[in-house]
Structure 1
């Protein structure tokens, strides 16, 4: 159908790739651990929306520009790195809602968490190049509707990724509730995640299109 072949292998490979840890998983786990599963799901929805932008851009050929233009790749790469480091600074500066009491860290609005997930994903040029390299392997060379096949496979990949991410959010939130993460630990979890995001931002800034 649509020139797609080896669909079970695509689904399995996509699931394994989604399980691999990265900035998206880190964001989901941090928000779930500190604000509950709804915050993790908000991050997941943002990431899913960002992934769809990459899928549609790749299907339309726009992502090929990132793969062939060093300037375009550099601009998007530095924008993504700057945003990740900006988020990291916010996490490093996390404070309790009321310094005079041991209350929880002030929560972020779900809309802002969704925006974080979206921008973290959509400003990563490596994701765009990944789709260009991975998805066409499962589309027949003589397929008449390659763009449609690309979108179909991209949607399958994204849905599987979101299901995994929602499961990760639920698991992290439940584990956090069971071990009863106290406000001080929650505060330092945000700061530790901020340190990891600094590293990820620098790693992205130094990356090459390969």
Structure 2
């Protein structure tokens, strides 16, 4: 079991550090809303991963591959949600004043709970509405499971390993991104970041929409 867990940890680390939608969301939120916002988005993603791990442990994720209707429904909903995030980012870049362009006001010293809740919802939504996340757990975890190991317990162990690695990775990403956002406060940089992430979200939405299981 120890060998299987270590092997899974190594493979999962490589996959988790590969740039993707979740990392982009944490990166963008950390730059625009600070590290607290980025960590809130990361917490939403981790909550979604935990849900997928539990679903895999009890066999619910098998529905995604067994039923084209279930997969397509989740895929279309996920694509629509990503498209909404992308268009919202582009709208903010075009319409909303960036922080340094807004009228000078005293900035609050306490993070806005509404912004953190929005970041958490974004992280949770992008993860739960992505059928690839469910297929990832269902297809990857069984490959490292010993033949005589209990399915539920081993699946949750691997899920916990994945969550710990993701938490550490997002902690590093949010720290670096928020530091970058503090150093580069030019409105043009913030606007360009919104434009890039908006286009990226639309790209992910398109890829999810045209993909087949």
TM (normalized to structure 2)? 0.89
User: Is 1:154 paired with 2:159?
Assistant: yes
Q: For the residues of structure 2 that align with 1:36 and 1:169, how far apart are their CA atoms?
A: 8
Q: For the residues of structure 1 that align with 2:133 and 2:79, how far apart are their CA atoms?
A: 13
Cα deviation, residue 119, structure 1: 0.4
Partner of 1:176: 181
Secondary structure of the corresponding residue to residue 6 of structure 1: helix
Q: For the residues of structure 1 that align with 2:128 and 2:41, how far apart are their CA atoms?
A: 13
1:85·1:198 contact (CA, 8 Å) conserved in 2?
Answer: yes
2:98·2:187 contact (CA, 8 Å) conserved in 1?
Answer: no
Q: For the residues of structure 1 that align with 2:180 and 2:91, how far apart are their CA atoms?
A: 25
Equivalent residue in structure 2 for 1:190, among 194, 198, 203: 194
1:5·1:138 contact (CA, 8 Å) conserved in 2?
Answer: no
2:41·2:123 contact (CA, 8 Å) conserved in 1?
Answer: yes
User: Is 1:140 paired with 2:140?
Assistant: no
Q: For the residues of structure 1 that align with 2:70 and 2:203, how far apart are their CA atoms?
A: 23
The 1:159/1:123 distance shift into structure 2, 3 A limit, reads same
| 1:74-98, Cα deviation, whole Å (9 max, x unpaired) | 0000010100001111101104348
Unmatched segments (≥5 aa) in structure 1: none
User: Is 1:111 paired with 2:117?
Assistant: yes
The 1:171/1:98 distance shift into structure 2, 3 A limit, reads closer
Cα deviation, residue 188, structure 1: 2.4
Number of aligned pairs? 202
Equivalent residue in structure 1 for 2:91, among 85, 90, 93: 93
Superposed CA RMSD in Å reads: 1.9
Q: For the residues of structure 2 that align with 1:161 and 1:20, how far apart are their CA atoms?
A: 11
1:96·1:187 contact (CA, 8 Å) conserved in 2?
Answer: no
The 1:98/1:37 distance shift into structure 2, 3 A limit, reads closer
The 1:176/1:98 distance shift into structure 2, 3 A limit, reads closer
Unmatched segments (≥5 aa) in structure 2: 104-111
| 1:164-192, Cα deviation, whole Å (9 max, x unpaired) | 011101011112323x2312320221122
Equivalent residue in structure 2 for 1:130, among 112, 126, 136: 136
Partner of 1:41: 39
Secondary structure of the corresponding residue to residue 36 of structure 1: helix
Secondary structure of the corresponding residue to residue 39 of structure 2: helix
Q: For the residues of structure 2 that align with 1:201 and 1:154, how far apart are their CA atoms?
A: 26
TM (normalized to structure 1)? 0.90
